[in-house]
Structure 1
Amino acid sequence: MTGPASTHAHPHTHAHPRTDPPEDTAALVHGEPLARARVDAFLKTVPSRDRETRPEALARAERQRRRWATQVVVADELARRACFTRGLRVPEKVSPSRLLTASEADVADLGSIVAAVLAHSPAARALLDRFEDEQEIPEAAVRDYYDRNRDRFLTPEALRRGVDPFDEPTPADVLPYERAREGIQRELRRAAAHRTFFAWLDQARTHVIYTPGHEHPGDPTHPDHEHRH
Protein backbone atom coordinates (compact mmCIF):
# COMPACT_ATOMS: atom_id res chain seq x y z
CA MET A 1 0.00 0.00 0.00
CA THR A 2 1.19 3.43 -0.76
CA GLY A 3 1.87 5.31 2.45
CA PRO A 4 2.23 8.93 3.31
CA ALA A 5 4.35 9.80 0.28
CA SER A 6 1.38 10.25 -2.07
CA THR A 7 0.99 13.86 -3.18
CA HIS A 8 -2.76 13.97 -3.81
CA ALA A 9 -4.41 16.65 -1.69
CA HIS A 10 -7.66 16.12 0.14
CA PRO A 11 -9.66 17.88 2.83
CA HIS A 12 -7.67 18.38 6.01
CA THR A 13 -8.86 18.11 9.54
CA HIS A 14 -9.58 21.25 11.47
CA ALA A 15 -7.87 22.57 14.57
CA HIS A 16 -9.50 21.79 17.90
CA PRO A 17 -8.88 22.83 21.45
CA ARG A 18 -6.78 20.26 23.29
CA THR A 19 -8.29 18.18 26.07
CA ASP A 20 -6.63 15.60 28.30
CA PRO A 21 -7.49 12.23 26.70
CA PRO A 22 -6.85 8.97 28.52
CA GLU A 23 -3.40 7.42 28.32
CA ASP A 24 -2.69 5.22 25.27
CA THR A 25 -5.25 7.12 23.21
CA ALA A 26 -4.61 8.18 19.61
CA ALA A 27 -7.67 10.40 19.31
CA LEU A 28 -11.01 11.31 20.80
CA VAL A 29 -13.84 10.51 18.39
CA HIS A 30 -16.99 12.34 19.45
CA GLY A 31 -15.48 12.43 22.92
CA GLU A 32 -14.72 8.70 23.08
CA PRO A 33 -11.13 7.42 23.13
CA LEU A 34 -9.74 5.56 20.15
CA ALA A 35 -6.99 3.26 21.38
CA ARG A 36 -3.44 3.76 20.18
CA ALA A 37 -3.27 -0.03 19.84
CA ARG A 38 -5.59 0.16 16.82
CA VAL A 39 -3.13 2.46 15.07
CA ASP A 40 -0.27 0.12 16.00
CA ALA A 41 -2.15 -2.86 14.56
CA PHE A 42 -2.81 -1.04 11.31
CA LEU A 43 0.81 0.08 11.00
CA LYS A 44 1.85 -3.57 11.05
CA THR A 45 -0.13 -4.13 7.84
CA VAL A 46 1.68 -1.32 6.02
CA PRO A 47 5.44 -1.85 5.76
CA SER A 48 7.39 1.36 5.57
CA ARG A 49 8.52 2.33 2.08
CA ASP A 50 10.77 5.15 3.20
CA ARG A 51 14.36 4.79 2.06
CA GLU A 52 15.79 7.33 4.45
CA THR A 53 18.99 6.18 6.15
CA ARG A 54 19.79 9.20 8.32
CA PRO A 55 18.35 8.56 11.80
CA GLU A 56 16.77 12.01 12.05
CA ALA A 57 15.08 11.76 8.65
CA LEU A 58 13.91 8.20 9.30
CA ALA A 59 12.44 9.22 12.66
CA ARG A 60 10.54 12.06 11.00
CA ALA A 61 9.22 9.71 8.30
CA GLU A 62 8.01 7.28 10.94
CA ARG A 63 6.28 10.06 12.86
CA GLN A 64 4.45 11.05 9.70
CA ARG A 65 3.59 7.43 8.91
CA ARG A 66 1.95 7.12 12.35
CA ARG A 67 -0.06 10.31 11.73
CA TRP A 68 -1.12 8.99 8.32
CA ALA A 69 -2.14 5.64 9.85
CA THR A 70 -4.13 7.43 12.56
CA GLN A 71 -6.18 9.15 9.85
CA VAL A 72 -7.01 5.79 8.30
CA VAL A 73 -8.04 4.22 11.61
CA VAL A 74 -10.08 7.25 12.63
CA ALA A 75 -11.89 7.21 9.29
CA ASP A 76 -12.66 3.51 9.79
CA GLU A 77 -14.16 4.30 13.21
CA LEU A 78 -16.20 7.17 11.80
CA ALA A 79 -17.45 4.95 8.97
CA ARG A 80 -18.50 2.25 11.46
CA ARG A 81 -20.52 4.83 13.37
CA ALA A 82 -22.07 6.18 10.17
CA CYS A 83 -23.06 2.69 9.06
CA PHE A 84 -24.65 1.99 12.45
CA THR A 85 -26.60 5.24 12.26
CA ARG A 86 -27.82 4.39 8.75
CA GLY A 87 -28.67 0.80 9.60
CA LEU A 88 -26.08 -0.59 7.17
CA ARG A 89 -24.75 -4.08 7.71
CA VAL A 90 -20.95 -4.07 7.81
CA PRO A 91 -19.04 -7.21 6.79
CA GLU A 92 -16.64 -8.80 9.24
CA LYS A 93 -13.53 -6.70 9.73
CA VAL A 94 -10.43 -7.89 7.92
CA SER A 95 -7.77 -9.31 10.22
CA PRO A 96 -5.16 -6.66 11.02
CA SER A 97 -2.47 -9.23 10.23
CA ARG A 98 -3.49 -9.26 6.58
CA LEU A 99 -1.57 -6.92 4.30
CA LEU A 100 -4.04 -4.65 2.54
CA THR A 101 -3.13 -2.85 -0.64
CA ALA A 102 -4.52 0.03 -2.64
CA SER A 103 -3.84 0.37 -6.34
CA GLU A 104 -1.62 3.16 -7.60
CA ALA A 105 -4.58 4.41 -9.67
CA ASP A 106 -6.76 4.68 -6.56
CA VAL A 107 -4.01 6.51 -4.70
CA ALA A 108 -3.63 8.94 -7.59
CA ASP A 109 -7.38 9.54 -7.83
CA LEU A 110 -8.34 9.48 -4.17
CA GLY A 111 -5.20 10.30 -2.19
CA SER A 112 -3.42 7.71 -0.10
CA ILE A 113 -5.49 8.25 3.05
CA VAL A 114 -8.87 7.69 1.39
CA ALA A 115 -7.51 4.88 -0.80
CA ALA A 116 -6.14 3.17 2.30
CA VAL A 117 -9.41 3.68 4.18
CA LEU A 118 -11.39 2.01 1.41
CA ALA A 119 -8.90 -0.87 1.25
CA HIS A 120 -8.77 -1.32 5.03
CA SER A 121 -12.31 -0.60 6.18
CA PRO A 122 -15.36 -2.72 5.26
CA ALA A 123 -17.48 -0.01 6.88
CA ALA A 124 -16.05 2.66 4.60
CA ARG A 125 -16.75 0.51 1.55
CA ALA A 126 -20.30 -0.14 2.72
CA LEU A 127 -20.83 3.57 3.22
CA LEU A 128 -19.39 4.37 -0.22
CA ASP A 129 -21.73 1.80 -1.78
CA ARG A 130 -24.68 3.45 -0.07
CA PHE A 131 -23.59 6.85 -1.36
CA GLU A 132 -23.34 5.37 -4.85
CA ASP A 133 -26.86 3.93 -4.61
CA GLU A 134 -28.13 7.41 -3.74
CA GLN A 135 -26.64 9.11 -6.80
CA GLU A 136 -28.90 10.14 -9.66
CA ILE A 137 -27.04 10.92 -12.87
CA PRO A 138 -29.11 12.90 -15.40
CA GLU A 139 -29.32 11.43 -18.87
CA ALA A 140 -27.95 14.69 -20.27
CA ALA A 141 -24.77 14.27 -18.21
CA VAL A 142 -24.26 10.73 -19.50
CA ARG A 143 -24.76 11.84 -23.10
CA ASP A 144 -22.45 14.82 -22.65
CA TYR A 145 -19.71 12.56 -21.31
CA TYR A 146 -20.11 10.25 -24.31
CA ASP A 147 -20.00 13.13 -26.80
CA ARG A 148 -16.89 14.66 -25.21
CA ASN A 149 -14.95 11.39 -24.86
CA ARG A 150 -15.50 9.49 -28.09
CA ASP A 151 -11.84 8.42 -27.98
CA ARG A 152 -12.71 6.16 -25.02
CA PHE A 153 -15.34 4.22 -26.95
CA LEU A 154 -13.57 2.83 -29.99
CA THR A 155 -14.84 -0.58 -31.07
CA PRO A 156 -12.55 -3.61 -30.67
CA GLU A 157 -12.25 -3.74 -34.47
CA ALA A 158 -11.12 -0.11 -34.61
CA LEU A 159 -8.55 -0.76 -31.92
CA ARG A 160 -7.19 -3.76 -33.82
CA ARG A 161 -6.85 -1.63 -36.95
CA GLY A 162 -4.96 1.00 -34.97
CA VAL A 163 -7.51 3.78 -35.51
CA ASP A 164 -6.28 7.03 -33.99
CA PRO A 165 -8.98 8.00 -31.46
CA PHE A 166 -7.99 11.67 -31.75
CA ASP A 167 -8.22 11.77 -35.55
CA GLU A 168 -12.00 11.99 -35.88
CA PRO A 169 -12.87 8.28 -36.08
CA THR A 170 -15.86 7.41 -38.22
CA PRO A 171 -19.18 6.60 -36.51
CA ALA A 172 -18.62 2.92 -37.40
CA ASP A 173 -15.41 2.95 -35.33
CA VAL A 174 -17.15 4.13 -32.17
CA LEU A 175 -19.47 2.15 -29.90
CA PRO A 176 -23.02 3.47 -30.22
CA TYR A 177 -24.32 5.46 -27.29
CA GLU A 178 -26.80 2.74 -26.32
CA ARG A 179 -23.96 0.27 -25.77
CA ALA A 180 -21.75 2.73 -23.89
CA ARG A 181 -24.46 4.33 -21.76
CA GLU A 182 -24.58 1.84 -18.86
CA GLY A 183 -20.82 1.88 -18.33
CA ILE A 184 -20.70 5.69 -18.41
CA GLN A 185 -23.54 5.99 -15.95
CA ARG A 186 -21.82 3.56 -13.58
CA GLU A 187 -18.55 5.50 -13.81
CA LEU A 188 -20.25 8.85 -13.17
CA ARG A 189 -22.19 7.47 -10.22
CA ARG A 190 -19.00 6.13 -8.66
CA ALA A 191 -17.22 9.46 -9.15
CA ALA A 192 -20.16 11.30 -7.56
CA ALA A 193 -20.14 8.82 -4.65
CA HIS A 194 -16.44 9.50 -4.07
CA ARG A 195 -17.14 13.24 -3.90
CA THR A 196 -19.91 12.59 -1.39
CA PHE A 197 -17.56 10.38 0.64
CA PHE A 198 -14.91 13.13 0.71
CA ALA A 199 -17.48 15.65 1.92
CA TRP A 200 -18.82 13.26 4.57
CA LEU A 201 -15.33 12.46 5.87
CA ASP A 202 -14.29 16.11 6.00
CA GLN A 203 -17.38 16.94 8.05
CA ALA A 204 -17.13 13.87 10.30
CA ARG A 205 -13.51 14.62 11.20
CA THR A 206 -14.42 17.99 12.62
CA HIS A 207 -15.51 16.09 15.75
CA VAL A 208 -12.13 14.39 16.24
CA ILE A 209 -9.39 15.58 18.60
CA TYR A 210 -5.94 14.06 18.06
CA THR A 211 -3.34 13.42 20.73
CA PRO A 212 0.24 14.65 20.17
CA GLY A 213 2.01 12.48 17.62
CA HIS A 214 -1.25 11.50 15.91
CA GLU A 215 -2.26 14.76 14.22
CA HIS A 216 -3.09 14.94 10.51
CA PRO A 217 0.15 14.82 8.44
CA GLY A 218 -0.73 18.26 7.04
CA ASP A 219 -1.75 19.87 10.34
CA PRO A 220 0.38 23.04 10.55
CA THR A 221 0.36 22.95 14.36
CA HIS A 222 3.00 20.19 14.46
CA PRO A 223 6.58 20.74 13.25
CA ASP A 224 6.69 17.81 10.80
CA HIS A 225 3.57 18.86 8.92
CA GLU A 226 3.43 18.41 5.17
CA HIS A 227 0.74 18.36 2.52
CA ARG A 228 1.70 14.98 1.20
CA HIS A 229 -0.79 12.23 2.07
Structure 2
Amino acid sequence: MTKHAAVVQGEAVPRERVDAFLQTVTTTPQRGAGSADMRLRRVGATSHDGAADARQPHTAPPAAHSPQAERQRRRWATQVVVADELARRACEERGLEQPPEVSPTHVLAIAGTDVADLGSIVAATLAHSAAARLLLAELERQQDVPEAAVQDYYERNRDRYLTPDALRRGVDPFGRTAPADFLPYQQAREGIAHELGRAAGHRAFFDWFDQARADVVYAAGHEHPGDPSHPDHEHRH
Protein backbone atom coordinates (compact mmCIF):
# COMPACT_ATOMS: atom_id res chain seq x y z
CA MET A 1 0.00 0.00 0.00
CA THR A 2 1.34 3.42 -0.91
CA LYS A 3 2.24 5.84 1.85
CA HIS A 4 0.88 8.84 0.00
CA ALA A 5 -2.64 9.86 -0.99
CA ALA A 6 -1.70 12.08 -3.92
CA VAL A 7 1.17 13.80 -5.66
CA VAL A 8 0.93 17.59 -5.98
CA GLN A 9 3.46 19.33 -8.22
CA GLY A 10 5.83 16.42 -7.84
CA GLU A 11 5.55 16.22 -4.03
CA ALA A 12 3.72 13.50 -2.14
CA VAL A 13 0.81 14.29 0.18
CA PRO A 14 1.04 11.73 3.02
CA ARG A 15 -1.89 9.46 3.81
CA GLU A 16 -1.53 10.60 7.42
CA ARG A 17 -2.96 14.01 6.50
CA VAL A 18 -6.08 12.34 5.13
CA ASP A 19 -6.36 10.14 8.22
CA ALA A 20 -6.05 13.17 10.51
CA PHE A 21 -8.77 15.02 8.62
CA LEU A 22 -11.10 12.02 8.72
CA GLN A 23 -10.83 12.05 12.51
CA THR A 24 -12.48 15.49 12.54
CA VAL A 25 -15.51 14.49 10.45
CA THR A 26 -18.47 13.04 12.32
CA THR A 27 -21.62 14.03 10.43
CA THR A 28 -23.13 13.21 7.06
CA PRO A 29 -24.25 15.51 4.22
CA GLN A 30 -27.27 15.72 2.01
CA ARG A 31 -27.23 13.14 -0.79
CA GLY A 32 -25.11 14.22 -3.69
CA ALA A 33 -23.28 16.99 -1.83
CA GLY A 34 -19.85 15.58 -2.71
CA SER A 35 -19.18 17.56 -5.85
CA ALA A 36 -16.59 20.32 -5.80
CA ASP A 37 -17.77 21.58 -9.17
CA MET A 38 -21.03 23.17 -8.07
CA ARG A 39 -21.39 26.84 -8.90
CA LEU A 40 -23.07 29.62 -6.97
CA ARG A 41 -26.46 30.08 -8.57
CA ARG A 42 -27.62 33.24 -6.88
CA VAL A 43 -26.03 36.46 -5.77
CA GLY A 44 -27.20 35.97 -2.17
CA ALA A 45 -25.17 32.79 -1.54
CA THR A 46 -22.74 33.41 1.31
CA SER A 47 -19.54 31.98 2.73
CA HIS A 48 -19.65 33.75 6.11
CA ASP A 49 -15.94 34.56 5.62
CA GLY A 50 -15.16 30.94 5.05
CA ALA A 51 -16.51 29.72 8.39
CA ALA A 52 -16.34 32.41 11.05
CA ASP A 53 -20.10 32.77 11.46
CA ALA A 54 -20.96 29.12 10.82
CA ARG A 55 -23.75 27.60 12.84
CA GLN A 56 -23.59 23.91 11.99
CA PRO A 57 -20.74 21.39 11.63
CA HIS A 58 -19.41 20.82 8.13
CA THR A 59 -20.21 17.46 6.66
CA ALA A 60 -18.62 14.53 4.90
CA PRO A 61 -19.91 11.74 2.70
CA PRO A 62 -21.72 8.92 4.49
CA ALA A 63 -20.05 7.52 7.58
CA ALA A 64 -18.44 4.13 7.18
CA HIS A 65 -21.49 1.84 7.34
CA SER A 66 -20.15 -0.21 4.43
CA PRO A 67 -16.82 -0.73 2.63
CA GLN A 68 -18.11 1.32 -0.30
CA ALA A 69 -19.12 4.21 1.96
CA GLU A 70 -15.76 4.12 3.70
CA ARG A 71 -13.92 4.21 0.37
CA GLN A 72 -15.97 7.17 -0.81
CA ARG A 73 -15.46 8.94 2.49
CA ARG A 74 -11.68 8.59 2.13
CA ARG A 75 -11.77 9.83 -1.46
CA TRP A 76 -13.81 12.84 -0.37
CA ALA A 77 -11.36 13.59 2.46
CA THR A 78 -8.42 13.34 0.06
CA GLN A 79 -9.98 16.04 -2.10
CA VAL A 80 -10.22 18.36 0.92
CA VAL A 81 -6.60 17.72 1.96
CA VAL A 82 -5.34 18.22 -1.60
CA ALA A 83 -7.30 21.46 -1.87
CA ASP A 84 -5.66 22.64 1.34
CA GLU A 85 -2.22 21.81 -0.05
CA LEU A 86 -2.97 23.60 -3.31
CA ALA A 87 -4.24 26.65 -1.43
CA ARG A 88 -1.10 26.81 0.71
CA ARG A 89 1.03 26.81 -2.41
CA ALA A 90 -1.15 29.42 -4.12
CA CYS A 91 -0.90 31.75 -1.10
CA GLU A 92 2.88 31.34 -1.04
CA GLU A 93 3.10 32.12 -4.76
CA ARG A 94 1.01 35.26 -4.24
CA GLY A 95 3.05 36.40 -1.25
CA LEU A 96 0.07 36.14 1.11
CA GLU A 97 1.01 35.73 4.77
CA GLN A 98 -0.83 32.68 6.00
CA PRO A 99 -2.33 32.56 9.51
CA PRO A 100 -1.54 29.61 11.79
CA GLU A 101 -3.27 26.42 10.76
CA VAL A 102 -6.25 25.23 12.78
CA SER A 103 -5.53 22.12 14.85
CA PRO A 104 -7.01 19.00 13.17
CA THR A 105 -8.93 18.35 16.40
CA HIS A 106 -10.51 21.81 16.33
CA VAL A 107 -11.71 22.16 12.76
CA LEU A 108 -13.99 25.14 12.25
CA ALA A 109 -17.65 24.58 11.45
CA ILE A 110 -19.48 25.72 8.36
CA ALA A 111 -23.18 26.36 7.87
CA GLY A 112 -25.30 23.71 6.25
CA THR A 113 -26.61 26.25 3.74
CA ASP A 114 -23.06 26.80 2.56
CA VAL A 115 -22.58 23.10 1.97
CA ALA A 116 -25.53 23.26 -0.42
CA ASP A 117 -24.22 26.37 -2.16
CA LEU A 118 -20.56 25.42 -2.40
CA GLY A 119 -20.52 21.64 -2.59
CA SER A 120 -19.27 19.69 0.39
CA ILE A 121 -15.66 19.42 -0.80
CA VAL A 122 -15.13 23.16 -1.17
CA ALA A 123 -17.25 23.97 1.88
CA ALA A 124 -15.22 21.59 4.03
CA THR A 125 -12.00 22.93 2.54
CA LEU A 126 -12.91 26.45 3.60
CA ALA A 127 -13.74 25.20 7.08
CA HIS A 128 -10.56 23.11 7.33
CA SER A 129 -7.99 25.29 5.58
CA ALA A 130 -6.84 28.72 6.70
CA ALA A 131 -4.95 29.01 3.42
CA ALA A 132 -8.12 28.39 1.40
CA ARG A 133 -10.00 31.06 3.36
CA LEU A 134 -7.14 33.50 2.83
CA LEU A 135 -7.04 32.77 -0.90
CA LEU A 136 -10.81 33.18 -1.21
CA ALA A 137 -10.65 36.54 0.60
CA GLU A 138 -7.91 37.68 -1.77
CA LEU A 139 -9.89 36.62 -4.83
CA GLU A 140 -12.97 38.43 -3.52
CA ARG A 141 -10.87 41.56 -2.91
CA GLN A 142 -9.66 41.51 -6.50
CA GLN A 143 -13.13 41.58 -8.01
CA ASP A 144 -14.14 44.81 -9.73
CA VAL A 145 -17.92 44.99 -10.01
CA PRO A 146 -19.04 47.49 -12.69
CA GLU A 147 -21.61 50.08 -11.66
CA ALA A 148 -23.79 48.97 -14.56
CA ALA A 149 -23.92 45.42 -13.16
CA VAL A 150 -24.98 46.71 -9.73
CA GLN A 151 -27.72 48.87 -11.18
CA ASP A 152 -28.91 46.09 -13.47
CA TYR A 153 -29.25 43.73 -10.51
CA TYR A 154 -31.24 46.34 -8.60
CA GLU A 155 -33.61 46.84 -11.52
CA ARG A 156 -34.14 43.12 -12.13
CA ASN A 157 -34.69 42.23 -8.48
CA ARG A 158 -36.94 44.98 -7.21
CA ASP A 159 -38.84 42.51 -5.03
CA ARG A 160 -35.78 42.31 -2.77
CA TYR A 161 -35.88 46.04 -2.10
CA LEU A 162 -39.42 46.69 -0.98
CA THR A 163 -39.57 48.95 2.07
CA PRO A 164 -40.83 47.50 5.37
CA ASP A 165 -44.02 49.53 4.95
CA ALA A 166 -44.59 48.15 1.45
CA LEU A 167 -44.09 44.63 2.75
CA ARG A 168 -46.64 45.21 5.52
CA ARG A 169 -49.15 46.47 2.97
CA GLY A 170 -48.57 43.46 0.75
CA VAL A 171 -47.40 45.48 -2.24
CA ASP A 172 -46.84 43.37 -5.35
CA PRO A 173 -43.40 44.47 -6.61
CA PHE A 174 -44.34 43.38 -10.13
CA GLY A 175 -47.73 45.06 -10.11
CA ARG A 176 -48.74 48.64 -9.46
CA THR A 177 -46.15 50.33 -7.28
CA ALA A 178 -44.90 53.77 -6.34
CA PRO A 179 -41.23 54.85 -6.06
CA ALA A 180 -41.68 55.16 -2.30
CA ASP A 181 -42.38 51.43 -2.10
CA PHE A 182 -38.72 50.63 -2.77
CA LEU A 183 -35.44 51.36 -1.03
CA PRO A 184 -33.56 53.99 -3.05
CA TYR A 185 -30.81 52.64 -5.28
CA GLN A 186 -28.08 54.49 -3.40
CA GLN A 187 -29.22 52.89 -0.17
CA ALA A 188 -29.17 49.39 -1.67
CA ARG A 189 -26.08 49.83 -3.82
CA GLU A 190 -23.37 48.92 -1.29
CA GLY A 191 -25.03 45.66 -0.30
CA ILE A 192 -25.56 44.63 -3.91
CA ALA A 193 -21.96 45.40 -4.86
CA HIS A 194 -20.73 43.40 -1.88
CA GLU A 195 -22.82 40.34 -2.80
CA LEU A 196 -21.90 40.51 -6.49
CA GLY A 197 -18.23 40.77 -5.55
CA ARG A 198 -18.54 37.82 -3.19
CA ALA A 199 -20.24 35.69 -5.85
CA ALA A 200 -17.55 36.63 -8.38
CA GLY A 201 -14.89 35.74 -5.83
CA HIS A 202 -16.43 32.31 -5.32
CA ARG A 203 -16.52 31.71 -9.07
CA ALA A 204 -12.86 32.72 -9.25
CA PHE A 205 -12.07 30.30 -6.42
CA PHE A 206 -13.83 27.44 -8.22
CA ASP A 207 -11.97 28.28 -11.44
CA TRP A 208 -8.67 28.35 -9.57
CA PHE A 209 -9.40 24.99 -7.91
CA ASP A 210 -10.39 23.34 -11.19
CA GLN A 211 -7.16 24.47 -12.83
CA ALA A 212 -4.89 23.84 -9.83
CA ARG A 213 -5.97 20.23 -9.34
CA ALA A 214 -5.82 19.31 -13.02
CA ASP A 215 -2.31 17.84 -12.72
CA VAL A 216 -2.76 16.16 -9.32
CA VAL A 217 -2.06 12.42 -9.40
CA TYR A 218 -4.08 10.37 -6.92
CA ALA A 219 -3.04 7.07 -5.39
CA ALA A 220 -5.39 4.11 -5.79
CA GLY A 221 -8.28 4.46 -3.35
CA HIS A 222 -7.95 8.24 -3.19
CA GLU A 223 -9.50 9.28 -6.51
CA HIS A 224 -12.24 11.90 -6.74
CA PRO A 225 -15.57 10.43 -5.49
CA GLY A 226 -17.11 11.17 -8.90
CA ASP A 227 -14.27 9.72 -10.98
CA PRO A 228 -15.97 7.16 -13.28
CA SER A 229 -12.77 5.13 -13.51
CA HIS A 230 -13.42 3.50 -10.13
CA PRO A 231 -16.46 1.28 -9.45
CA ASP A 232 -17.79 3.19 -6.43
CA HIS A 233 -17.96 6.56 -8.16
CA GLU A 234 -20.88 8.79 -7.20
CA HIS A 235 -21.43 12.15 -8.84
CA ARG A 236 -24.92 13.47 -8.09
CA HIS A 237 -26.20 17.04 -7.89
Q: Same fold (TM over 0.5)?
A: yes
Q: Secondary structure at the match of 2:105?
A: coil
| Paired position in structure 2 for 1:89 | 97
| Paired position in structure 2 for 1:23 | 2
- 1:62 and 1:164, CA in 2 relative to 1: closer, same or farther beyond 3 A? farther
Gaps of 5+ in 1: 1-21, 51-55
Check whether the contact 2:107–2:127 (CA below 8 A) recurs between aligned residues. no
> Aligned to 1:191, which of 187, 193, 199?
199
> Pairwise mapping of residues 91-170 of structure 1 onto structure 2 (< 5 A)?
91-170=99-178
| Paired position in structure 1 for 2:56 | none
Q: Secondary structure at the match of 2:108?
A: coil
- 1:92 and 1:169, CA in 2 relative to 1: closer, same or farther beyond 3 A? farther
Q: Quick check: 1:177 aligned with 2:185?
A: yes
**Superposition deviation, residue 149 in structure 1:** 0.4
Q: Secondary structure at the match of 1:207?
A: coil
| Paired position in structure 2 for 1:8 | none
Check whether the contact 2:107–2:128 (CA below 8 A) recurs between aligned residues. no
- 1:184 and 1:168, CA in 2 relative to 1: closer, same or farther beyond 3 A? farther
Read off the aligned partner of 1:61 and give its amino acid letter.
A
**1:194-219 Cα shifts (integer Å, max 9, x gaps):** 11111110110012100011100011
> Aligned to 2:225, which of 212, 217, 228?
217
Check whether the contact 1:67–1:215 (CA below 8 A) recurs between aligned residues. yes
| Paired position in structure 2 for 1:47 | 26
- What is the distance in 2 between the residues matched to 1:196 and 1:137? 13
Aligned length: 203
Read off the aligned partner of 1:123 and give its amino acid letter.
A
| Paired position in structure 2 for 1:64 | 72
Q: Which moved more, 1:145-154 or 1:162-171?
A: 162-171
Q: Quick check: 1:204 aligned with 2:183?
A: no
**Superposition deviation, residue 158 in structure 1:** 2.6
**Superposition deviation, residue 48 in structure 1:** 4.4
**Superposition deviation, residue 154 in structure 1:** 1.7
- What is the distance in 1 between the residues matched to 2:107 and 2:177? 45
- What is the distance in 2 between the residues matched to 1:46 and 1:166? 46
Check whether the contact 2:158–2:173 (CA below 8 A) recurs between aligned residues. yes
- What is the distance in 1 between the residues matched to 2:199 and 2:193? 10
Q: Secondary structure at the match of 2:220?
A: coil
| Paired position in structure 2 for 1:227 | 235
> Aligned to 1:34, which of 13, 19, 29?
13
Higher relative contact order (CA 8 A, sep 6+): 1
Q: Secondary structure at the match of 2:106?
A: coil
Q: Secondary structure at the match of 2:7?
A: strand
When the two structures are superposed, what TM-score results if normalisation uses the length of structure 1? 0.83
**Superposition deviation, residue 168 in structure 1:** 4.6
Q: Secondary structure at the match of 1:206?
A: coil
Q: Secondary structure at the match of 2:214?
A: helix
Check whether the contact 1:46–1:100 (CA below 8 A) recurs between aligned residues. no
Read off the aligned partner of 2:208 and give its amino acid letter.
W
The percent of aligned pairs where both chains have the same amino acid is 67
| Paired position in structure 1 for 2:82 | 74
Read off the aligned partner of 1:134 and give its amino acid letter.
Q
Cα RMSD, aligned residues only: 1.9
- What is the distance in 2 between the residues matched to 1:168 and 1:149? 15
